[in-house]
Structure 1
Amino acid sequence: MKYILEPWPWYISGPFIAIVMFLLLYFGRTFGMSSNLRTMCAIGGAGKRVKFFDFDWKSEKWNLMVVAGAVIGGMIAHFFLSNPIDIQLSENTINDLDTLGFKNVGESLLPPELFSWDSVFSLKGIAILLIGGFLVGFGTRYAGGCTSGHAITGLSSLQLPSLVAVIGFFIGGLIMIHFIYPILF
């Protein structure tokens, strides 16, 4: 028997996110992926050279469960819960992506023009990864957290800096996709 899997509707997944946020706030914790990177760097000894990483990482090792959960959850979703059907896109989106050089638009969530090993290990792919990684790292540090931390924890606890950061993330994303991305591809 073949099961057709659909994404969880908002009224199922939304309350789960709310419950997790309530528990984190209740126990005085915050959610964010960038803090996990800081913890991993501290575990690796980066605190000996950079003051930012010199902290008691053992008090933050609970947060590494977020990384483990994201990896395990992603694997479960990919291998057991994926529904390999074509993605429904508007004709305008298909035409726009076609003009940018994407073929077979809508057949995959990860287009091979960007995510195949050949693309990643090309000079252009490595340059984009290095420059993009630097900009994401700098932006995360400058904004005091990542998109998930500000958008989920910061907004749910009504922090004005998180609202400003999330607005900035959206503006940056719009600038990227409408102005910079067409130049790169």
Structure 2
Amino acid sequence: MESILQPWPWYISGPLIALIMFVLIYFGKTFGMSSNLRTFCTLAGAGKKTKFFDFNWKSQKWNLTVVLGAIIGGFIAHHYLSIPTNIDLNPKTVSELSQLGFENAGKTLLPAELYSWDSVFSIKGLTILIIGGFLVGFGTRYAGGCTSGHAITGLSSLQLPSLVAVIGFFIGGLIMIHLVFPLIFG
């Protein structure tokens, strides 16, 4: 049973992602999660206030099933297909995170210092969520898509703007983790 609970190897998951991308491209669809946020805003009536949200959301019903599948799949994977295990982090990373106040670095996937309800509902946690949410929303709109859309759909269809966006995502991540993160938690 334990072998079933291991992550799928690259030679199974990689071709499956490629197959899904081929099917989406064949049917003229693109994959990305940020477009679903636009659809949810349209469903909530944002199209009455802003022209960007005024579109036929029914043409995106298929993409809403991707969100539902991600939620259900994540639940199933977490509760039924995974076993608690330590994360194989570099000892230097564990040491640096410990110095920043993370008690269980390498022991849990979601550190309580960021993801517990106490942390989320603190002034610091709410500030991080609001500023981070704004930056992600702005960046996604400015880049014309999210990380999954550019990195999976854009790169697989050889789009140069997606390559530039993915490089930008990595640079932004490096800046965040090496410069901003220590300021927030140091």
Return the TM-score normalized by structure 2. Answer: 0.96
Corresponding position of 2:74 = 74
Q: Letter of the 1:3 partner, please give it.
A: E
Q: Letter of the 1:166 partner, please give it.
A: V
Cα offset, 1:3, TM superposition: 2.6
Whether 2:30 is the aligned partner of 1:24: answer: no
Cα offset, 1:171, TM superposition: 0.4
Corresponding position of 1:83 = 83
Aligned residues: 184
Unpaired runs of 5+ residues, structure 2, are: none
Corresponding position of 1:117 = 117
Superposition pairs of residues 20-169 of structure 1, within 5 angstroms? 20-169=20-169
Cα offset, 1:87, TM superposition: 1.6
Distance 1:178 1:70 in 2: 30
Counterpart of 2:108 in 1: which secondary structure? coil
Distance 2:42 2:29 in 1: 19
Deviations 1:24-65 (A, max 9, x none): 000000000000010111111110100000011111111101
Q: Letter of the 1:109 partner, please give it.
A: L
List structure 1 segments (4+ residues) > 3 angstroms apart after TM superposition.
none
Counterpart of 1:16 in 2: which secondary structure? helix
Distance 1:110 1:10 in 2: 23
Q: Letter of the 2:27 partner, please give it.
A: F
How many percent of aligned residue pairs carry the same amino acid?
72
Q: Letter of the 1:18 partner, please give it.
A: A
Q: Letter of the 2:117 partner, please give it.
A: W
